[in-house]
Amino acid sequence: MPIPFVDLKRQYLSIKEEVDSAVHRVLMSGNFAHGEEVEAFEEVFSRYIGARYCVAVSSGTAALYLALMACGIGPGDEVITAPNTFIATAEAISTVGGRPVLVDVNPASYTMDPLALETVITRRTKAILPVHLYGQPADMDPILEIAKRYHLLVIEDACQAHGAKYKGRRVGSLGEAGCFSFYPTKNLGACGEGGAVLTDNLEIARKVRMLRDHGSDRKYYHKAVGFNCRMEAIQAAVLKVKLEYLDEWNTRRRQHAQLYSNLLSGTGLILPLEMPYAYHVFHLYVVQSTCRDELQQALADEGIATGIHYPVPIYLQEAYQHLGDGRGKFPVAERVTEHILSLPLYPEMSDGEVQTVSRQICKFLPH
Ligand SMILES: *Cc1c(COP(=O)(O)O)cnc(C)c1O
């Protein structure tokens, strides 16, 4: 039986009645943009993350650029981030006119290396944008300490880390602002697009709220040039239902990750590590193999879907050639890019499926 990389239909079927009734409620209300549903989700999600304010927006990408803009990042400003992330992280910096400045990552955690961070700070640096990649928090204490010393803002890209914790505190609540995506395949996913900015800072919350709705604080009165980045009511209603299950789903992800790690030890694969400071929520279970492409093909031949997150680091993307960072500039990110493979992992997967994937890997890899 084929094993897909994710299976959103299984998740829907597991909570169908609640989701259907939430969607029906919105359809019957006739209020599709903004409004009570969105406010209700903002309330529960801010409480869940442990931040004072949540402003729901139309995507994770929008959350990132609206947060950057609300933090005053603009043309000419440099924002430090990691090279091995989804393009949206860098794109958001470019959207506000800033320049992404990359630093290499820690090979054990795949997240920003705080030791490398200090070496790229210049007079133009305004912010640090760490990415909690694959569900593992970046090492926030040294990052926050450096930010404080150089008077920089920290904005978290928590788009892959809903519910992850750094030293017991949920990510998204640690910097000046935290950005989430509710893209359908994320740990907390909408039935469409969605995102949110979390912050304790009232000024930032106000600005994001204004910018997401054409720069207005009341209808047809515009204080700033903004965007249409509102969250849809249907997405908010669905997300509020799903938030109730997030911890349970993350627990299942962690159990599957543990099972993979048990079954794959001794194969020679480099397995994911949970850093001592972290509560990892395994948005992705990423291994490294010296024969990655062959392994991926062998699994595909058995009907097992895998992914590569991501096949090209930011600075080697065609879109970012102007950064001028050539091959070899970030050796860790570049080396792992050649070897990483994401295995199927979602809460609704059965233990048997994890065992099947593991068995096929063991069959392929010579011990
Ligand atoms: C998904 C993701 C985003 C963008 O979120 P969208 O909702 O797809 O716009 C940004 N950063 C990272 C690390 C992501 O995984």
From CA 49, how far away is CA 123, in angstroms rounded?
33
User: Among the atoms of ligand 1, which is closest to the Cα of residue 181?
Assistant: 7
Nearest to 346 by CA among 131, 183, 188: 188
DSSP secondary structure letter of residue 310 = -
From CA 59, how far away is CA 180, in angstroms rounded?
8
Rg (CA), the chain: 20
DSSP letters, 95-126, are HTT-EEEE--B-TTT-SB-HHHHGGG--TTEE
Residue range 237-262, pLDDT digits in tens: 999 999 999 999 999 999 999 999 99
Nearest to 246 by CA among 343, 304, 179, 180: 180
Residue range 181-230, pLDDT digits in tens: 999 999 999 999 999 999 999 999 999 999 999 999 899 999 999 999 99
Residue range 133-183, pLDDT digits in tens: 999 999 999 999 999 999 999 999 999 999 999 999 999 999 999 999 999
Mean pLDDT of 299-319: 98
Mean pLDDT of 129-136: 98
Enter the tokens of residue 39. 């406010």
d(CA 265, ligand 1 centre) in Å: 31
The pTM is what? 0.98
Residue range 44-65, pLDDT digits in tens: 999 999 999 999 999 999 999 9
Instruction: Write down the H helix ranges in the chain.
Output: 8-14, 16-29, 36-49, 60-70, 87-95, 114-117, 140-149, 202-211, 233-243, 246-264, 292-301, 331-339, 351-364
C-alpha angle 42-44-49 in degrees, rounded to nearest 5: 90
Residue range 266-301, pLDDT digits in tens: 999 999 999 999 999 999 999 999 999 999 999 999
Q: Which of 160, 227, 239, 310 to mutate to test the pocket of ligand 1 (most atoms within 8 A of CB)?
A: 160
Write the secondary structure of 257-299 as one string of H (helix), E (strand) and C (coil).
Answer: HHHHHHHHCCCCCECCCCCCCEECCCCCEEEECCCHHHHHHHH
Q: Is the model's pLDDT at 367 over the cut of 70?
A: no
**How confident is the model at residue 34, as a pLDDT?**
82
**How confident is the model at residue 1, as a pLDDT?**
78
Instruction: Tell me, using a 6 A CB cutoff, whether residue 183 lines ligand 1.
Output: yes
Enter the tokens of residue 180. 């989430």
Burial 178-201 (b: 16+ CB within 10 A, else e): bbbbbbeebbbbbbebbbbbbbbb
- Residues whose CB falls within 8 Å of the CB of residue 101, separated by 6 or more in sequence, listed in order: 78, 79, 80, 81, 120, 122, 125
d(CA 366, ligand 1 centre) in Å: 36
- Residues whose CB falls within 8 Å of the CB of residue 294, separated by 6 or more in sequence, listed in order: 364
**How confident is the model at residue 270, as a pLDDT?**
98
Nearest to 356 by CA among 291, 307, 305: 305
**How confident is the model at residue 105, as a pLDDT?**
98
Q: Whose CA is nearest to atom 7 of ligand 1?
A: 60
User: Among the atoms of ligand 1, which is closest to the Cα of residue 193?
Assistant: 7
**How confident is the model at residue 153, as a pLDDT?**
98
CB 133 within 8 A of CB 112: no
Nearest to 278 by CA among 117, 151, 170: 170
d(CA 1, ligand 1 centre) in Å: 31
d(CA 56, ligand 1 centre) in Å: 14
Cis peptide before 221 (omega within 30 of 0): no
Instruction: Tell me, using a 6 A CB cutoff, whether residue 86 lines ligand 1.
Output: yes
Enter the tokens of residue 142. 């040294």
Nearest to 106 by CA among 284, 297, 267, 335: 335
d(CA 344, ligand 1 centre) in Å: 19
Mean pLDDT of 98-105: 98
Instruction: Tell me, using a 6 A CB cutoff, whether residue 156 lines ligand 1.
Output: no
Q: Which of 61, 155, 180, 283 to mutate to test the pocket of ligand 1 (most atoms within 8 A of CB)?
A: 61
**How confident is the model at residue 231, as a pLDDT?**
98
Instruction: Tell me, using a 6 A CB cutoff, whether residue 138 lines ligand 1.
Output: no
Residue range 3-46, pLDDT digits in tens: 999 999 999 999 999 999 999 999 999 999 989 999 999 999 99
**How confident is the model at residue 2, as a pLDDT?**
94
Residue range 54-93, pLDDT digits in tens: 999 999 999 999 999 999 999 999 999 999 999 999 999 9
3-state secondary structure of 323: helix
Q: Which of 132, 181, 187, 239 to mutate to test the pocket of ligand 1 (most atoms within 8 A of CB)?
A: 181
Instruction: Tell me, using a 6 A CB cutoff, whether residue 130 lines ligand 1.
Output: no
Pairing of strands 99-102, 165-166: unpaired
d(CA 158, ligand 1 centre) in Å: 9
Instruction: Tell me, using a 6 A CB cutoff, whether residue 358 lines ligand 1.
Output: no
- Residue 117: left (phi > 0), alpha (psi -120 to 50), or beta? alpha
